[in-house]
Amino acid sequence: MIKYRRFNNTIELMCILIVLLLVFFSFPETRSTFNVGERKLPIYNVDTKDKKIAITFDCGWDEDKTKEILEVLDKHNVKATFFLVGAWIDDFEKDTKLIYEKGHEIGNHSNMHPNMSRVSKERIIKEIEITDGKIMKITGALPKLFRCPSGDYNDLVVQVVEDSNHYCIQWDVDSIDWKGEGEEIEYNRVIKKTKPGSIILFHTNGKYTPKNLSKIIKKFQDEGYKFVKVSDLIYKEDFYIDSTGKQILK
């Protein structure tokens, strides 16, 4: 009797699983509830054969080298994208205006630089809206790009960013310049990883960033690369993002 009961329970369990699978595949709308294998991702890089790459800077700290960086970009006739924290804008209004006047792109990097995946939807919206307002007040233009502080995101964050009419931008080449590990280390890190369609991450407080920036730009320009703003690199429509974060044209 005991063996029969165990066998019977197994049969019942199998029947339940079969019914659940039948429901799952018979009604596609139920699949989103299970969230099988799908995850929303920001744009890490772009699928392109053209030798185009984008340099980006995150601005959010007091020890700042923005003016030096702008001088280097001017010297090499390169336009970049700067992601600004709202609190940084409060302290560096003149620099914010200067970035814009020199023709560089300004993106939203939140107001107080929180880990976005750990805050509420309402807080995410507020962080975006407040910084949009600060940028709009100084430049007269609303940013179209958003970068998550510390690169921290989840499905909700990416969805809210998209719903607020921003492209969510990550990176595939990280200089890790904020650590100040050494000029050569940071230079080689960028050189080895950069390829057509790459989005490179720097910070305006990087100790070796201005000097390395000049060397990196010269090397890639000599190799036939063109530096563009992120909005000129990414596709605006008819695209999808693969499992690695690469933006691909349909």
Q: Is 203 an active-site residue?
A: yes
Residue bearing tokens 């690199």 = 233
Centroid of chain to Cα 121 = 18
Count other C-beta atoms under 10 Å from residue 98's C-beta: 14
Q: How far apart are CA 182 and CA 170, in angstroms?
A: 24
Q: Is 58 an active-site residue?
A: yes
> Tokens at residue 41, please?
């991702």
Count other C-beta atoms under 10 Å from residue 173's C-beta: 22
At residue 199, what is the residue type?
I
Question: For residue 8, which phi and psi values (nearest 5 degrees)?
Answer: -60, -40
Catalytic residue among 64, 203, 222, 238: 203
Q: Which of 116, 111, 130 is nearest to 160 (CA)?
A: 116
At residue 19, what is the residue type?
V
Q: How far apart are CA 63 and CA 204, in angstroms?
A: 8
Catalytic residue among 47, 58, 62, 172: 58
Residue bearing tokens 């009797």 = 1
Q: How far apart are CA 199 and CA 246, in angstroms?
A: 11
Positions marked catalytic: 58, 203
